[in-house]
Amino acid sequence: MKQKKILLFLILGILSACSQRTEPAPAPLSPDELPTIVALTGQAAFATANALTPSATPTLLPTETPTPEPTSALPTVTPTFEPGFTKFADLRFVAPGPMSNLASPIQLKLLLSSGKSNLVRIDLLGEEGRTLYSELIRVSHDSRGAYRELEIPFEIRAVSEKGYIRLSSKDEFRRLQKLNTMPILLYSMGASEINLPGNMIYERVMFEGLKDGADVYNGEIAVKGRYWPFNTQPVFLDLTLESGKVITSRLLPFKGIEPESFETTLPYKVTEPAKARIVIRQDNPELRVVDTDLKNYIYLYSIEVTLNP
């Protein structure tokens, strides 16, 4: 009898322990509760997705957003131009330099002084001049230049091709005031190899004794200076009115691509003072696509003068 009692106590103890370790099963969901829970779960999922997705930025007109200048020094170069070419380019490339091997995206660094429009247009041109990228940015008309950094993505079908980065700016009358070009090599893959800009940090023209904003008299402008040709294409010197009309044009007879001196006259006729631009320009023969606005220019520079009777 004593043994039966001991056995009974052991069985009751085991059953008590099992009942303490077993958690009650959750109550089954009713058909009315299921749609509510699904809806709440979907709302939570959409909220998480929205939080992880960047919000769209509306397209706005260009605004001037200064880029802080780099803390490290800009690349230094040793000028090799002949005396006289000391003016930094208004549209100046800091990086990349000429014939750099570039994969997408291009890390473009510039020092810019816009025309009087306060806008600078940046174009990436591929083989034969087709446009791979174009952007218009707002930059102040400041002779010291404003530093800008841009990332330019592009796609090409070939493994590599020749290309150009072209910078341009207009005056307040929508006349092209300045244009500068950097020749580069575009690659569809691989790492970029950056060259220094070298002597291309300078303007390719210098005028002797004739400054921007000068007054001229007696129906003729004597123009003298030096020019460093971009290529062997003809170089023209124009006198252009505010309307854009060219009233005088001269062909400058350069023999090659080395810096040369030039001297000529630009006649004009006015009955009262009038603003005009003296423009020096040269074409790029590799651009087959004609831009109705920027033509096929590879370089253009101008200064403003006031024509007096």
Q: Where are the domains of the chain?
A: 91-307
Q: What is the mean pLDDT of residues 135-141?
A: 92
The rounded distance, in Å, linking the Cα atoms of 52 and 192 is 32
pLDDT at 19: 45
Q: What pLDDT is stored for residue 141 in this prediction? A: 81
Query: For position 73, what pLDDT does the model report?
Result: 43
Q: Model confidence over 252-284: pLDDT tens digits?
A: 999 999 999 999 999 999 999 999 999 999 999
pLDDT of residue 57: 38
CB 281 within 8 A of CB 242: no
Region 235-251: mean pLDDT is 97
pLDDT at 161 over 50: yes
Query: Which pLDDT band, with edges at 50, 70 and 90, does 101 fall under?
Result: very high
What's the sign of the alpha-carbon dihedral 180, 93, 302, 145? Answer: positive
Q: In which band, very low, low, confident or very high, does the pLDDT at 143 lie, cut at 50, 70 and 90?
A: confident
* pLDDT given at position 39: 39
Residue 55 pLDDT grade (very low, low, confident, very high; cuts 50, 70, 90)? very low
pTM of the entire predicted model: 0.76
Per-residue confidence (pLDDT) for residue 52, from 0 to 100: 36
Task: Tell me the average pLDDT across 64-71.
Answer: 55
What is the model's pLDDT at position 71? 42
CATH of the domain spanning 91-307? 2.60.40.10
pLDDT class for 64, splitting at 50, 70, 90?
Answer: low
Which has more confidence, 230 or 32?
Answer: 230
pLDDT tier, 18 (very low <50, low <70, confident <90, very high otherwise): very low
Cα separation, 163 vs 106, whole angstroms: 12
Higher model confidence: residue 87 or residue 70? 87
Residue 159 pLDDT > 50? yes
Assess whether pLDDT exceeds 60 at residue 26.
no
- What mean pLDDT, rounded, does the chain reach? 82
User: What integer is the mean pLDDT of 199-208?
Assistant: 94
